Amino acid sequence: MSKSTIQATAADPTVAAAASQFLSPIVLGLQALTVNGKQAHWHVRGANFIGVHEFLDTLVAHAGGWADEAAERIVALGLPIDARLGQVAEKVSSTGAPAGFAQSSDVIAGVVNDIDAVIKSLDAAIEGLDEIDLTSQDTAIGIKAGLEKDRWFLVAHVSE
């Protein structure tokens, strides 16, 4: 088989387009969580400072990795993904992360709001991909499991 006859992807274009519609909001939400989580990391104050400060770095690393995983799934299906900051700012409507210094409980509440927005996109993807592309659905399920664990770790800092 010559190089020119190898298809760029084995994915059906209809499946790829449908999967991308579900995975793209996840990529953008996770990119926003990466940026906003780092902002929160720099500005957290008060009770639980060191634990929250250090865990936010972990969350940022996880969110960036999961964004990469979802984006690479879209690209593996043969489609591009635009997750530049301008696109993220245009498509991701809200952020819970404070802009400046804030108490750890307020930082956690804001970041948890951002996490919940991504989980909402993940839930839609998991449901919508069930009959479209099980591999993409599996990607969304794995990301959701990890993100829910990170959410739990954050909420544990302020739970009584």
Q: What's the whole-model pTM score?
A: 0.92
pLDDT of residue 22: 98
Nearest to 104 by CA among 12, 18, 41, 151: 41
pLDDT of residue 2: 55
pLDDT of residue 50: 94
pLDDT of residue 96: 78
Neighbours of 114 (CB within 10 A): 26
Q: What H or E segment, with its residue span, contains residue 76?
A: helix 49-76
Spans of the chain below 50 pLDDT:
none
pLDDT of residue 12: 87
Q: Which domains occur in the chain, in start order?
A: 12-155 (1.20.1260.10)
pLDDT of residue 106: 94
